[in-house]
């Protein structure tokens, strides 16, 4: 039953409820929208809006630019800059420290560290706007000071180069979640968009998850296969996150979360941060991109020419475009469905701004977060539930992970596990060269 239905069953509240509904219905649409935006912004001043995923660091890298040559204190042609972050009232941001999955064993760790350095240089360049955060309490304190808490999210477990020592180094550098895979299956975890090799996690992959729990680094299941999701949920000793995924109920993309997994994530206390990627959230867009990509895959399989495959995809797009574009309301649909399946305590926001080439209408850049919050209010969400989605759920998960880490660090030392031993690789001397005498 809806909140309104419960009110109507209480006689002394019924008259007040009817009066309120009549007032809202009678108000001009523009005035109602303005009122909802005012209310949304008031909630965002109370609770930090925490976005789980933004690719500005990679966007800066691909343009070969620094914050000296492109001043993000001024408007830019990207989806993220300081004026729009302020307009969007972003309270804390997990900045993606990304490297292409094809760089596994080809210097991926260097790229990951350099991406973290991009964020730190940004924080140093604009100290009145950003501050590095390491804990949930840091985020709250920084938000109250009027700044944007900045955290690192390592997008691809291949960047630890099969080393728990390097995992710990990334944590010391500020990484507070790690996405176990990106688009390709790694040496120890199966990805959603690649052929499986491990049936989920390998033995070393399980040890990676345990060490992340011991550190207090959030395990991010965006990009992983269903079998990897279930393996992590089986062994994790702290709540997990999806930093930028949506519901498979609406779009059958393997990057999305199926309902049975979403319920299990809720049961384990985690949070699914709904993404804005059009072909992850909207069935017509998903089907459009699948048809385009199937043309490219066929050309690649026949010719082995990746350039020809890209040209074929581009030509198909030009012939059949434009791509269907979802609206802001579709994102709200995902949020509401995941609320119904996993629980309102287990939903958040993970935009993927500056990591995508198109966006839903009404969510074009980081300035538009208040419009999404206002849409939830328009649908009848209460203030308390909205505050959970915009930030309180992520803060709770972080605090639970921090408590689990404090306990696990008392119970066991840092893991010295090696993939060569756990997963039965070749003997170490063959990997590291002849032994010295």
d(Cα 139, Cα 136) in Å, to the nearest integer?
A: 5
Q: Nearest to residue 229, comparing CAs of 201, 271, 270, 198?
A: 201
* DSSP assigned state of 160: G
Q: Residue 281 in contact with residue 92, Cβ under 8 Å?
A: no
The whole-model pTM stands at 0.89
Active site residues: 53, 55, 155, 182, 223, 244, 352
Return the pLDDT at 65.
87
Residue 151 phi/psi, 5-degree rounding, is -130, 160
Q: What is the pLDDT along the chain (437 residues), one digit of tens a residue?
A: 332 233 223 333 333 333 333 333 344 667 778 999 999 999 999 999 999 999 999 999 998 888 888 999 999 999 999 999 999 999 999 999 999 999 999 999 999 999 999 999 999 999 999 999 999 999 999 999 999 999 999 999 999 999 999 999 999 999 999 999 999 999 999 999 999 999 999 999 999 999 999 999 999 999 999 999 999 999 999 999 999 999 999 999 999 999 999 999 999 999 999 999 999 999 999 999 899 889 888 988 898 888 888 888 889 888 888 889 999 999 999 999 999 999 999 999 999 999 999 999 999 999 999 999 999 999 999 999 999 999 999 999 999 999 999 999 999 999 999 999 999 986 544 444 444 44
Question: Residue 51 pairs with which residues in a beta bridge?
Answer: 93, 349
Helices and strands counted in the chain (H then E):
20, 9
Residue-level pLDDT at 409: 98
Beta strands in 22-122 (DSSP E): 49-54, 90-98
pLDDT value at position 35? 95
| Residue found under tokens 């011991």 | 214
Alpha carbon distance 162, 415 (integer Å): 13
Q: Please write down the long-range contacts of 193-201, taking CB distance under 8 Å and 24 or more positions apart.
A: 193/223, 193/254, 193/255, 196/225, 196/227, 199/227, 200/225, 200/227, 200/228, 200/230, 200/231, 201/228, 201/231, 201/232, 201/235
Element (H, E) at 130: strand 130-132
Q: If you search the block for the tokens 């909205």, which residue do you land on?
A: 386
Domains in the chain and their CATH numbers? 48-278+328-425 (3.20.20.140), 283-324 (no CATH)
State the Cα–Cα distance between residues 40 and 332, nearest whole angstrom: 14
pLDDT at 29: 65
Task: Give the residues across from 49 on adjacent strands.
Answer: 90
């Amino acid at each position: 039953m809806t909140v309104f239905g419960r009110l109507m069953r209480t006689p002394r509240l019924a008259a007040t409820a009817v009066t309120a509904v009549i007032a809202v219905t009678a108000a001009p649409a523009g005035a109602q929208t303005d009122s909802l935006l005012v209310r949304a912004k008031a909630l965002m001043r109370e609770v930090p809006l925490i976005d789980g995923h933004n690719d500005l660091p990679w966007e800066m890298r691909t343009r070969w630019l620094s914050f000296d040559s492109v001043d993000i204190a001024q408007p830019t042609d990207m989806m993220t800059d300081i004026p729009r972050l302020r307009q969007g009232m972003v309270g804390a941001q997990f900045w993606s420290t990304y490297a292409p999955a094809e760089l596994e064993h080809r210097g991926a760790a260097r790229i990951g560290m350099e991406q973290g350095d991009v964020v730190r240089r940004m924080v140093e360049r604009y100290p009145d706007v950003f501050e590095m955060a390491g804990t949930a309490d840091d985020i709250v304190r920084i938000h109250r000071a009027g700044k944007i808490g900045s955290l690192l999210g390592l997008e691809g477990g291949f960047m630890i180069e099969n080393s728990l020592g390097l995992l710990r180094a990334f944590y010391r550098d500020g990484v507070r979640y790690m996405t176990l895979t990106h688009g390709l299956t790694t040496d120890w975890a199966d990805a959603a968009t690649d052929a499986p090799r491990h049936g989920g996690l390998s033995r070393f992959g399980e040890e990676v998850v345990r060490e992340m729990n011991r550190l207090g680094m959030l395990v991010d299941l965006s990009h992983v296969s269903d079998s990897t999701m279930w393996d992590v949920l089986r062994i994790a000793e702290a709540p997990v996150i999806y930093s930028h995924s949506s519901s498979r109920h609406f779009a059958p993309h393997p990057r999305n979360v199926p309902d049975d997994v979403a319920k299990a994530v809720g049961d384990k206390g985690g949070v699914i941060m709904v993404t804005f990627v059009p072909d992850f959230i909207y069935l017509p867009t998903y089907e459009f991109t699948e048809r385009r990509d199937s043309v490219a895959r066929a050309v690649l399989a026949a010719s082995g020419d990746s350039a020809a495959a890209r040209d074929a995809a581009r030509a198909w797009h030009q012939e059949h475009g434009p791509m269907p574009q979802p609206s802001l309301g579709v994102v709200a649909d995902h949020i509401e469905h995941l609320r119904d399946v996993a629980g309102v305590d287990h939903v958040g926001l993970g935009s993927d701004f500056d990591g995508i080439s198109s966006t839903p209408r009404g969510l074009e850049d980081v300035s538009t977060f208040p419009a999404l919050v206002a849409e939830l209010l328009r649908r009848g969400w209460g203030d308390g539930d909205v505050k959970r989605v915009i930030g309180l759920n992520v803060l709770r998960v972080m605090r639970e992970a921090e408590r689990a880490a404090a306990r696990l660090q008392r119970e066991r030392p840092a893991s010295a596990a090696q993939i060569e031993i756990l997963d039965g690789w070749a003997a170490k001397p063959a990997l590291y060269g002849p032994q010295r005498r």
